Amino acid sequence: MAFQISLKINGNGHDVELEDARPTLLDVLRERIGLTGTKKGCDRGQCGACTVLIDGRRVNSCLSLAVSLDGAEVTTVEGLSDGDTLHPVQAAFIENDGFQCGYCTPGQIMSAVGFLGETGGDASAEAVREGMSGNLCRCGAYAGIQDAVLDAQARMSKGGKT
């Protein structure tokens, strides 16, 4: 059974033809739309590399059936910056050494954007570590990631763009 779905991805409308109901949002983004910023780590909800925002909420795209999301708005790491102006979370990751190899980074950044939207802008370091626990980093860049999220929180509460 074939399905036609439409998704708004990073502000652009996409009509996607699915041969059957099996593809996850992750596979649609990477294989059909060509947005390879979103990474596949475990494909099982265990690592967070595939984190994107669906209707503004962070989720694991590897455990979401694309067909179920017909009509949804999706934001991936490619959709965060405003032209050459980085999103405050992206800028903070660069300045705080929030990564080493970079494989987990798009997921970390999308998760941080989602997390900062969930809190009142006053998350402690411990709350950041807990809130970001759904994103594993094989390089162990956790200290930098924590600092980047705290820095991004401070930048965003000042209303700063970067």
Ligand X SMILES: Cc1cc2nc3c(=O)[nH]c(=O)nc-3n(C[C@H](O)[C@H](O)[C@H](O)COP(=O)(O)OP(=O)(O)OC[C@H]3O[C@@H](n4cnc5c(N)ncnc54)[C@H](O)[C@@H]3O)c2cc1C
Binding site for ligand X (CB under 6 A): 45-46
Q: For residue 88, which phi and psi values (nearest 5 degrees)?
A: -55, -35
Residue 62, C-beta contacts closer than 8 angstroms, at least 6 positions apart: 24, 25, 26, 40, 42, 43, 44, 45, 50
- Residue 97 near ligand FES by CB under 6 A: no
Sole binder of ligand FES in the list 5, 28, 66, 99 (CB under 6 A) = 99
**Beta-carbon neighbour count of residue 94 at 10 Å?**
12
Q: For residue 80, which phi and psi values (nearest 5 degrees)?
A: -80, -45
- Residue 24 near other proteins by CB under 8 A: yes
CA distances from 69 to 7, 10, 17, 25 (A): 8, 15, 13, 8
- Residue 100 near ligand FES by CB under 6 A: yes
Q: How far is the CB of 57 from ligand FES (least distance, A)?
A: 15
Sole binder of ligand FES in the list 6, 22, 31, 42 (CB under 6 A) = 42
Sole binder of other proteins in the list 6, 81, 85, 133 (CB under 8 A) = 133
Sole binder of other proteins in the list 59, 91, 109, 141 (CB under 8 A) = 59
Residue 17, C-beta contacts closer than 8 angstroms, at least 6 positions apart: 2, 3, 4
Q: Which residues bind other proteins (CB under 8 A)?
A: 1, 3, 20-22, 24, 43-45, 48, 51, 57-60, 63-65, 67-68, 111, 114-115, 118, 124, 126-127, 129-135
